[in-house]
Amino acid sequence: MNEQIVILDFGSQYTQVIARRIRECSVYSTILPYDTPAREIKKIAPTGIILSGGPSSIYAKDSPKPDRKVLNLGVPILGICYGLQILGHFLGGSIERGLKREYGKGTLRVKKSSPLFRGLPKSMQVWNSHSDKLTKAPRGFVSVATTENSDFAVVQNLDREMFGLQFHPEVVHTPKGKQLIENFVYRVCGCGKRWTMRNYVDQAVDEIRETVGEERVILGLSGGVDSSVAAALIHRAVGRQLTCIFVNNGLLRAREVEAVKDLFGRNFEMRLQVENASAEFLRKLKGVRRPERKRKIIGGTFIKVFQSATKRAGKAKFLAQGTLYPDVIESVPIAGNPAALIKSHHNVGGLPKTMKFELLEPLKCLFKDEVRLLGAELGLPKEVVYRQPFPGPGLAVRILGDVTKERLRILREADAIVVQEMKANDWYYRVWQSFAVLLPVKSVGVMGDERTYEYTVAVRVVDSKDGMTADWVKLPYDLLERMSNRIINEVDGANRVCLDISSKPPATIEWE
């Protein structure tokens, strides 16, 4: 990667957002721990450096500090919030310790000309979240803009191409923040718009070819966005040297196996090995009711089935995985950094060490939204690229209690109706997830002249940014009415439909 902006992470909850904003400017960015030695950064030869915000006070014992030689690399630097305090602390400014955090909207007034504010109004709304504040500009710096609470909300040293912002330009509550970041990367750092998924395909294909050579690659295809895009990319690079293994665990939604066969097998002409292990999964799940036990059984069985499938697939040197950038960024281990606490709690641990593969992870420098763009670039359809998340344990965690063939059939049919109606009414791509859940509760109904005694289906539709919190979606009544009518009329075994109106927290998105 030639041009890139390095972000030193001081533990802000927004560090990844900064990286994404820069990439949205078609400029590559990487996140490195705050204490990365200057000589390592020099080797990367970044076109600019951003010092992120962070929860610490610069005066706190153990507050994170960079290698101070970073400030002498002769590369443009933008310090954001805590990053501004770093500039102040190391370059001779004064910082006043704030006793409480100043949090919320403020109005920025620009007093001096600055490349950062080219094309921007003299007054704009910004988002503050800081406690300490600069009270004297560092040596050689001047104040460019002020807010109600700060005379040094923006400082600059044009000779050294160093800038500091008290507020957060990366968040949406700073509406002109994106332009400000653009000004930094284009005008100050002189970056061009070189980071596009079209360019990335060429570069990644070359790299994969070089790594893989004549060897073979195996990939576990789940049908989800990440593994599908990884498959399409590796296939573009090495064609039939790639074998995709798709495990049918019997817990998939309606027509899922056929869709994977159609798209990857027939359309892309990939070497696709479908393992039908439904019977084995269902046998092991028989009588199991506890959600965590279900997950363990499904995870363990998956590994076993996948392992023996790789043997049948023939000798391969590489195992491909759809690991994404957020999975590989090291979180900063300091108090107050939410990223240090949030761990993905769901996915079944890695494959056993006895599987001797080299890993191939061609998406590991991409964010999720970039993976979707890459998928589209590689010709994957919208249904795959923008599909909603689906849990690894599948419908087993959407059938409360025992998982049986009959319950799976009922849930599959009901779920297909929910999805069809969401798509037909243009709601599917506007929400995070929309699905049906089967409750092991039977209730009385009437159908024609007959009394029925059947299962209950719950409809769950939620909005979320990352699955960590979620709100239930207020769908129009007529859409809900159609879903309910269709499920009760068309699905044998269900005679009642409920709507789940719980948010996360305290409820979770899945019912188990």
Which of residues 118 and 368 has its CB atom nearest to ligand XMP in the complex? 368
> Given CA atoms 162, 163, 169, 175 in this order, what sign does their dihedral have?
negative
Task: Provide the Cα torsion 80, 86, 89, 93; round to 10°.
Answer: -20
The stretch near ligand XMP (CB under 6 A) out of 1-9, 131-139, 241-249, 503-511 is 503-511
Q: Is 207 a catalytic residue?
A: no
| Residue 346 lies near ligand XMP (rule: CB under 6 A) | yes
Near ligand XMP by CB under 6 A: residue from 76, 83, 93, 391: 391
Q: Is 346 a catalytic residue?
A: no
What would the two tokens of residue 314 be? Answer: 């023939």
- Helix (H), strand (E) at residue 32: strand 28-33
Amino acid letter, 319: L
Task: List, edge to edge, every strand of the sheet that includes 123-130.
Answer: 28-33, 4-9, 48-51, 77-80, 162-165, 150-157, 142-147, 102-110, 123-130
Cα–Cα nearest to 501, from 441, 469, 460: 460
State the minimum distance, in angstroms, from the CB of residue 308 to ligand XMP. Answer: 22
Amino acid letter, 351: L
| Residue 392 lies near ligand XMP (rule: CB under 6 A) | yes
Which of residues 357 and 390 has its CB atom nearest to ligand XMP in the complex? 390
State the minimum distance, in angstroms, from the CB of residue 433 to ligand XMP. Answer: 6
- The string over 251-267, giving b where at least 16 C-beta atoms fall within 10 Å of a residue's C-beta and e elsewhere, is bbbbebbebbeebbbee
- CA–chain centroid gap for 297, Å, is 27
The DSSP string of 73-117 is S-S-EEEETHHHHHHHHHHT-EEEPPSS-EEEEEEEEE-S--GGG
Question: What is the 8-class DSSP label of residue 10?
Answer: -
Q: Is 81 a catalytic residue?
A: yes
The DSSP string of 433-489 is EEEEEEEEEEEEEEETTEEEEEEEEEEEEEE-SSSSSBEE----HHHHHHHHHHHHH
| Residue 290 lies near ligand XMP (rule: CB under 6 A) | no
Angle at 466 between CA 429 and CA 201, to 5 degrees: 70
Which of residues 35 and 510 has its CB atom nearest to ligand XMP in the complex? 510
| Residue 293 lies near ligand XMP (rule: CB under 6 A) | no
The stretch near ligand XMP (CB under 6 A) out of 160-168, 195-203, 259-267, 502-510 is 502-510
Which of residues 131 and 227 has its CB atom nearest to ligand XMP in the complex? 227
Question: What is the 8-class DSSP label of residue 138?
Answer: P
| Residue 27 lies near ligand XMP (rule: CB under 6 A) | no
State the minimum distance, in angstroms, from the CB of residue 472 to ligand XMP. Answer: 12
Which of residues 92 and 389 has its CB atom nearest to ligand XMP in the complex? 389
Catalytic residue among 89, 130, 168, 235: 168
Near ligand XMP by CB under 6 A: residue from 83, 393, 459, 460: 393
| Residue 123 lies near ligand XMP (rule: CB under 6 A) | no
Angle at 366 between CA 361 and CA 368, to 5 degrees: 110
Task: Provide the Cα torsion 377, 379, 382, 383; round to 10°.
Answer: -140
State the minimum distance, in angstroms, from the CB of residue 130 to ligand XMP. Answer: 31
The stretch near ligand XMP (CB under 6 A) out of 110-118, 139-147, 387-395, 417-425 is 387-395
State the minimum distance, in angstroms, from the CB of residue 13 to ligand XMP. Answer: 19
Per-residue binding letters, 464-493, with ligand XMP (x by CB under 6 A)? ---x--------------------------
What is the distance between the alpha carbons of residues 182 and 320, in angstroms, rounded to a whole number? 35
Which of residues 187 and 504 has its CB atom nearest to ligand XMP in the complex? 504
The stretch near ligand XMP (CB under 6 A) out of 51-59, 233-241, 265-273, 391-399 is 391-399
State the minimum distance, in angstroms, from the CB of residue 342 to ligand XMP. Answer: 12
| Residue 326 lies near ligand XMP (rule: CB under 6 A) | no
Task: Provide the Cα torsion 8, 13, 16, 17; round to 10°.
Answer: -120
- Contacts (CB under 6 A) with ligand XMP, residues 172-231: none
Near ligand XMP by CB under 6 A: residue from 130, 133, 294, 295: 295
Active site residues: 81, 168, 170
> Which residues of this protein are in contact with ligand XMP, per CB under 6 A?
295, 346-347, 389, 391-393, 433, 467, 504, 508-510
